[in-house]
Amino acid sequence: MNTAFLSVGTNMGDRETYLRSAITSLRATEGIELIERSSIYETAPVGVTDQADFLNIVVRLTTTLAPLELLAVCQRIEQELGRERTIRWGPRTADLDILLYNDDAIESETLSVPHPRMRERAFVLIPLTELAPECTDPVTGRQFRDEPAIQEGGVVLWGAIEKDGTGDEEFV
Protein backbone atom coordinates (compact mmCIF):
# COMPACT_ATOMS: atom_id res chain seq x y z
CA MET A 1 0.00 0.00 0.00
CA ASN A 2 1.25 3.47 -0.89
CA THR A 3 0.69 6.73 0.95
CA ALA A 4 0.20 9.95 -0.98
CA PHE A 5 -0.58 13.54 -0.16
CA LEU A 6 -2.61 15.59 -2.65
CA SER A 7 -3.40 19.27 -2.71
CA VAL A 8 -6.88 20.28 -3.84
CA GLY A 9 -7.68 23.88 -4.74
CA THR A 10 -10.48 25.85 -6.36
CA ASN A 11 -11.35 29.48 -7.00
CA MET A 12 -14.43 29.41 -9.22
CA GLY A 13 -18.13 29.21 -8.45
CA ASP A 14 -19.19 27.47 -5.26
CA ARG A 15 -15.67 26.69 -4.05
CA GLU A 16 -16.75 24.57 -1.08
CA THR A 17 -18.92 22.40 -3.33
CA TYR A 18 -15.98 21.82 -5.67
CA LEU A 19 -13.81 20.73 -2.73
CA ARG A 20 -16.56 18.38 -1.52
CA SER A 21 -17.01 16.96 -5.03
CA ALA A 22 -13.28 16.32 -5.43
CA ILE A 23 -13.20 14.46 -2.10
CA THR A 24 -16.31 12.46 -3.03
CA SER A 25 -14.69 11.47 -6.34
CA LEU A 26 -11.47 10.43 -4.61
CA ARG A 27 -13.42 8.33 -2.10
CA ALA A 28 -15.36 6.66 -4.94
CA THR A 29 -12.22 5.67 -6.85
CA GLU A 30 -11.22 2.03 -6.63
CA GLY A 31 -7.76 1.64 -5.17
CA ILE A 32 -7.93 4.85 -3.10
CA GLU A 33 -8.77 5.18 0.57
CA LEU A 34 -8.98 8.74 1.84
CA ILE A 35 -7.41 8.78 5.31
CA GLU A 36 -7.82 12.44 6.33
CA ARG A 37 -7.99 15.98 5.08
CA SER A 38 -6.72 19.26 6.40
CA SER A 39 -8.70 22.29 7.35
CA ILE A 40 -9.67 24.59 4.50
CA TYR A 41 -7.42 27.58 3.85
CA GLU A 42 -8.11 30.63 1.72
CA THR A 43 -5.30 32.29 -0.19
CA ALA A 44 -4.72 34.91 -2.82
CA PRO A 45 -3.89 33.55 -6.28
CA VAL A 46 -0.29 32.97 -7.37
CA GLY A 47 0.97 33.80 -10.86
CA VAL A 48 -2.10 35.38 -12.42
CA THR A 49 -3.32 37.60 -9.59
CA ASP A 50 -6.40 39.12 -11.28
CA GLN A 51 -8.77 36.36 -10.19
CA ALA A 52 -10.73 35.18 -7.16
CA ASP A 53 -9.07 33.81 -4.02
CA PHE A 54 -8.56 30.06 -3.70
CA LEU A 55 -9.75 27.56 -1.16
CA ASN A 56 -7.10 24.89 -0.55
CA ILE A 57 -6.87 21.63 1.36
CA VAL A 58 -4.44 18.73 1.54
CA VAL A 59 -5.60 15.12 1.74
CA ARG A 60 -3.71 12.03 2.88
CA LEU A 61 -4.68 8.81 1.16
CA THR A 62 -3.51 5.28 0.74
CA THR A 63 -3.61 3.72 -2.67
CA THR A 64 -2.79 0.66 -4.70
CA LEU A 65 -2.42 2.90 -7.74
CA ALA A 66 0.99 3.63 -9.24
CA PRO A 67 1.99 7.33 -9.39
CA LEU A 68 0.99 7.82 -13.04
CA GLU A 69 -2.33 6.07 -12.42
CA LEU A 70 -2.98 8.41 -9.50
CA LEU A 71 -2.12 11.37 -11.72
CA ALA A 72 -4.65 10.13 -14.29
CA VAL A 73 -7.31 9.97 -11.53
CA CYS A 74 -6.52 13.55 -10.48
CA GLN A 75 -6.78 14.79 -14.05
CA ARG A 76 -10.04 12.87 -14.60
CA ILE A 77 -11.57 14.46 -11.49
CA GLU A 78 -10.45 17.92 -12.62
CA GLN A 79 -12.07 17.34 -16.01
CA GLU A 80 -15.29 15.97 -14.48
CA LEU A 81 -15.50 19.12 -12.35
CA GLY A 82 -15.21 21.32 -15.44
CA ARG A 83 -11.60 22.43 -15.32
CA GLU A 84 -10.43 24.11 -18.50
CA ARG A 85 -6.70 24.55 -19.02
CA THR A 86 -6.64 27.83 -20.95
CA ILE A 87 -4.43 30.10 -18.81
CA ARG A 88 -1.43 28.84 -16.84
CA TRP A 89 -2.13 29.56 -13.16
CA GLY A 90 -5.55 30.88 -14.19
CA PRO A 91 -8.91 30.35 -12.54
CA ARG A 92 -10.02 26.75 -12.05
CA THR A 93 -12.92 24.77 -10.72
CA ALA A 94 -10.57 22.12 -9.39
CA ASP A 95 -6.83 21.62 -9.20
CA LEU A 96 -5.54 18.31 -7.81
CA ASP A 97 -1.78 17.89 -7.48
CA ILE A 98 0.25 14.99 -6.16
CA LEU A 99 2.53 16.50 -3.53
CA LEU A 100 4.16 13.35 -2.18
CA TYR A 101 4.01 9.66 -3.01
CA ASN A 102 5.58 7.54 -0.27
CA ASP A 103 9.13 8.86 0.13
CA ASP A 104 9.71 8.63 -3.62
CA ALA A 105 11.42 11.17 -5.83
CA ILE A 106 9.82 10.85 -9.28
CA GLU A 107 10.80 12.76 -12.38
CA SER A 108 9.11 12.05 -15.69
CA GLU A 109 7.71 14.07 -18.58
CA THR A 110 4.28 14.19 -16.95
CA LEU A 111 4.92 13.97 -13.21
CA SER A 112 7.38 15.42 -10.69
CA VAL A 113 7.17 14.28 -7.07
CA PRO A 114 7.67 15.94 -4.67
CA HIS A 115 5.65 18.63 -6.43
CA PRO A 116 8.30 21.00 -7.78
CA ARG A 117 6.84 24.24 -6.38
CA MET A 118 5.41 23.00 -3.09
CA ARG A 119 8.38 24.22 -1.03
CA GLU A 120 7.58 27.79 -2.16
CA ARG A 121 3.86 27.73 -1.38
CA ALA A 122 2.52 28.31 2.10
CA PHE A 123 -0.98 27.35 0.91
CA VAL A 124 0.40 23.82 0.39
CA LEU A 125 2.86 23.65 3.28
CA ILE A 126 0.47 24.81 6.01
CA PRO A 127 -2.26 22.21 5.37
CA LEU A 128 0.38 19.53 4.72
CA THR A 129 2.09 20.15 8.05
CA GLU A 130 -1.31 20.26 9.76
CA LEU A 131 -1.74 16.62 8.73
CA ALA A 132 1.89 15.53 9.01
CA PRO A 133 3.96 17.89 11.18
CA GLU A 134 7.05 15.70 10.96
CA CYS A 135 6.82 15.18 7.19
CA THR A 136 10.22 15.31 5.52
CA ASP A 137 11.10 16.27 1.96
CA PRO A 138 12.49 13.09 0.33
CA VAL A 139 14.84 15.18 -1.84
CA THR A 140 16.30 17.69 0.62
CA GLY A 141 15.79 15.78 3.88
CA ARG A 142 14.35 18.94 5.47
CA GLN A 143 11.08 18.95 7.35
CA PHE A 144 8.47 20.87 5.40
CA ARG A 145 7.54 22.85 8.51
CA ASP A 146 11.03 24.42 8.33
CA GLU A 147 10.63 25.77 4.80
CA PRO A 148 10.85 29.59 4.75
CA ALA A 149 7.67 29.88 2.65
CA ILE A 150 5.56 28.61 5.53
CA GLN A 151 6.21 31.92 7.30
CA GLU A 152 5.20 34.15 4.37
CA GLY A 153 1.62 34.67 5.49
CA GLY A 154 -1.38 35.25 3.29
CA VAL A 155 -2.93 31.91 4.23
CA VAL A 156 -6.14 32.26 6.23
CA LEU A 157 -8.02 29.48 7.98
CA TRP A 158 -11.39 29.38 6.20
CA GLY A 159 -12.96 26.27 7.71
CA ALA A 160 -11.76 23.85 10.34
CA ILE A 161 -12.46 20.13 10.45
CA GLU A 162 -15.37 18.99 12.55
CA LYS A 163 -16.03 15.38 13.49
CA ASP A 164 -19.68 14.37 13.19
CA GLY A 165 -19.51 11.47 15.64
CA THR A 166 -19.29 8.78 12.96
CA GLY A 167 -15.62 9.38 12.22
CA ASP A 168 -16.40 11.29 9.05
CA GLU A 169 -14.91 14.72 8.68
CA GLU A 170 -17.25 17.52 7.75
CA PHE A 171 -16.63 20.97 6.35
CA VAL A 172 -17.46 23.79 8.70
Residues tagged active-site: 83, 92, 95, 97
Distances 124 to 76, 119, 165 between C-alpha atoms, Å: 21, 8, 28
Can you tell me the distance from the alpha carbon of 99 to that of 125, in angstroms, rounded to the nearest whole number? Answer: 10
Q: Which residues pair with 36 in a beta bridge?
A: 60
Can you tell me the distance from the alpha carbon of 95 to that of 109, in angstroms, rounded to the nearest whole number? Answer: 19
Can you tell me the distance from the alpha carbon of 105 to that of 53, in angstroms, rounded to the nearest whole number? Answer: 31
Can you tell me the distance from the alpha carbon of 14 to that of 25, in angstroms, rounded to the nearest whole number? Answer: 17
